[in-house]
Structures are given as C-alpha cells and as structure tokens.
Structure 1
Amino acid sequence: MSESATTGRQELTSAQEEELVARMLRHQVGIEPDHCGAVIDLAAVGLVNSAWRNSPAEDWHAGDGPLSDGDMLRINSHTTGRVRDIIRRGAPTAASTPMHPSPTWTNSTSRRSTGSRASCAVG
C-alpha cells in the first residue's frame, strides 16, 4: 500500500514540487530559486551543518573542549567554502534540471552567480 493511500495525501507532481520548493526558497529562505549560486551556497551550508551536528567536532566545541567559538567559525567557514566549490564543480551537470535548463560557467575565477532561468550561471 502506498504512503498516499495510508495518509490520505496526494503525491505532488514534478511541477507542483518545483513550485513548492521555489515558494519555500523565496518566502522562507529569501533567495530567488533561479539564482543557482545562492541555491548552491544554501546547499553547502546545509550539508556542512548536517555533517557537524552530533559529531566529534561538535563535542570538542561543547563545554571545556579545545575548540573555541572562533575555531568553530573558522572550521565551518572553511568547510562550507570547500563543499560549495565541490558542488559548483559538478553544477554544470548536476544543475541541469527543469528549473535550471542550461547552466554555464561565466568566469572560472569568479565565485558570484549571475544566473537566470534561461541561462543559470554558477561560476
């Protein structure tokens, strides 16, 4: 028996799911979903946050551990930057979705995105 049959909820179509994510990004997060750079940055923050939660690094920061707030800030900032770079390297392939039909690199040295729905730049 499917989940929708047991919960009484209808499954979302791909278009409905895309619109829901777009509304959440706009209204709850404050970023434009067609701005690939902002979405990639948000994904990097989420991945790093998920990786650190309940980890030894968080334990070292807790209480009298050896990591200060400044240490954690530097660790999180560095790790988020590295994860963002890894995601962006794969973005021309990974971002090829209906929301991002033709991602392109605009400048290999720039880390700012100037993407739009027609051409989602992630460089």
Structure 2
Amino acid sequence: MSEKRDLQADRQFVRIENSTEEQYLDRALEAWPHAIDRAIAAEKEAEEWKREALQLYPTPDAYDAACAALEKHRQRADAAEKERDELRKRVEKLQSDKSALIDQIDEENNRQRFKMDANGNLTLIEEEPA
C-alpha cells in the first residue's frame, strides 16, 4: 500500500507541465519530506547490504580466495564423479568377463563329461566316485 502511495506521489511530483507554479510548489512541499525519508531509508538499506557483504568477504582478496576454494572443491567433485563412472564401467566389464568365463568353463566341463564317438554320438562319461 505504501509503495502505491509512493508511486502516486512521484507521478504527481513530476506532472508539472499541467500545473501552475503554485500547484507545483504545493505538491513539492507535500512530497518533499516523504521523498527524503525514502531516500534515507534506501541509503540505510544499501549500507546494511554493504556491511553484510563485507562481513562475508571483508576484502576483494577474501572473495577471490573463497571463489578459488569453491572452484577447487568443484574440480575435486568432478574428478571423483569421473573416477566413479570409470570404476562402474570396469566393474560392468569384469562382470561381463566373469559371465563369459563361467560360460566357457561350463562348456569345457560339459565337453569333458561327454565323449564323442566316430559317428558323432555323445556318450556320458561316468565320473568315478572320489
């Protein structure tokens, strides 16, 4: 509500082309104290923001150091993610190789358990009890 009133006061203050000099002076005198209060409040707010920013980063060097530290942590995180992805690929490849090796061993075991005669017929080789 206050902002709307401020906007209306500003519009009235700048509409001097349709006003007589006396009307302009009357409006200016009414709006002047409020405009000064708003300017002072804006300056205080700007100082507060500046003070808050300086508490976080008291000097440009401190700000640069904080940015450098963030960049360093980002690089480490990126490197860790890359290493994780590479390790996942290696694990998947090893699991695939393991499956292939198990299949190969099963084939060899099956071949050893069966004997093929001259006609191409397979006969099961009885395992000797241990």
Same fold (TM over 0.5): no
TM-score by length of 2: 0.23
TM-score by length of 1: 0.24
Bigger Cα Rg: 2
Select the structure with the greater relative contact order (CA < 8 A; seq sep ≥ 6). Answer: 1
| Structure (1 or 2) with the greater strand fraction | 2
| Structure (1 or 2) with the greater helix fraction | 2
